[in-house]
């Protein structure tokens, strides 16, 4: 399937009034395949993966990384780079007294994270979805306000309804978004954590959706149908003191 990701991105940006660039991730078993992407950038400094994501979503860069480009095991573990899931990492000692009261709490947090298994991939590329440089990516991602996110979810649920249940691990919320989407291959919504906001430039009112790209097409079809029914984002305010019957009658004539 050769999808026109530029057209998909343009419609997504229009319907959800996005303020940052929809982007994509693709894992590579061989780093040479990642390095063969035209004009791909390679980091000149050590980063968190949140920073690399920010370079794609805020600056429009296509960036390729290996384990050596990331600051530590926490970032590497989520995307399965560098055999990061050692016993030391699983213990969570590095987070004890920082994010969690006891080592037992930290260990439980590490076990709760969605992570790509080690040993399968050697490199990762992150870049704007519209550029098409990643071909058919593993997952597509975008930041949006809570209102835009529920509209996107409404679009997903228009046809073939499915209830979504998402989790919150707290810090290391990348495990809730790209970690979960890469491992379960299902749409994954997250509340970005401290690290994403401090190092990745995520704004205070933004959430993150990560999903296999085919779900974007499903959601767009659903949002088009909702738009015909008068449901569009941003949602117009009706008024907290008005008689609600006039407004409700537009959507529910009976």
Q: Which of 92, 56, 69 is nearest to 170 (CA)?
A: 92
Checking if the pLDDT of 62 tops 80, the result is yes
Q: Does residue 73 form part of some domain? A: yes
Q: Does residue 226 form part of some domain? A: yes
Q: Does residue 12 form part of some domain? A: yes
Are the C-beta atoms of 64 and 123 separated by less than 8 Å?
yes
Q: Does residue 241 form part of some domain? A: no
Q: Does residue 206 form part of some domain? A: yes
Q: Could you read off the pLDDT of 157-173 as tens digits, one per residue?
A: 999 999 999 999 999 99
Q: Does residue 244 form part of some domain? A: no
* Three-class SS state of 31: helix
List, in order, residues 6 or more apart from 76 with CB less than 8 Å away.
Answer: 67, 70, 82, 84
List, in order, residues 6 or more apart from 175 with CB less than 8 Å away.
Answer: 78, 112, 113, 114, 115, 169
**Number of domains present in the structure of the chain:** 1
Q: Could you read off the pLDDT of 121-162 as tens digits, one per residue?
A: 999 999 999 999 999 999 999 999 999 999 999 999 999 999
Prior bond to 54 cis, omega within 30? no
Q: Does residue 39 form part of some domain? A: yes
Instruction: Check residue 26 and give its pLDDT.
Output: 98
pTM for this prediction = 0.95
């Amino acid at each position: 399937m050769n999808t026109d990701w530029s057209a998909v991105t343009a419609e997504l940006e229009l319907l959800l009034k996005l303020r940052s660039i929809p982007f994509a991730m693709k894992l590579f078993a061989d780093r040479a395949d990642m390095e063969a992407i035209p004009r791909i950038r390679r980091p000149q400094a050590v980063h968190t993966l949140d920073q690399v994501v920010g370079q794609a979503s805020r600056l429009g860069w296509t960036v390729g990384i290996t384990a050596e480009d990331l600051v530590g095991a926490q970032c590497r573990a989520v995307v399965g780079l560098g055999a990061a899931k050692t016993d030391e990492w699983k213990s969570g000692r590095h987070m004890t007294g920082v994010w969690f009261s006891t080592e037992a709490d930290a260990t439980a947090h590490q076990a709760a994270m969605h992570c790509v298994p080690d040993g399968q991939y050697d490199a990762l590329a992150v870049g704007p979805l519209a550029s098409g440089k990643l071909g058919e990516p593993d997952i597509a991602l975008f930041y949006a306000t809570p209102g835009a996110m529920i509209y996107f979810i409404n679009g997903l649920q228009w046809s073939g309804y499915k209830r979504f249940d998402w989790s919150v691990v707290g810090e290391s919320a990348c495990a809730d978004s790209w970690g979960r989407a890469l491992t379960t291959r299902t749409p994954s919504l997250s509340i970005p954590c401290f690290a994403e906001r401090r190092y990745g430039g995520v704004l205070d009112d933004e959430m993150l959706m990560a999903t296999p790209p085919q779900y974007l097409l499903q959601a767009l079809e659903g949002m088009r149908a909702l738009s015909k029914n008068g449901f569009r984002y941003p949602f117009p305010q009706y008024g907290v003191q008005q008689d609600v019957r006039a407004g409700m009658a537009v959507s529910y004539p009976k």
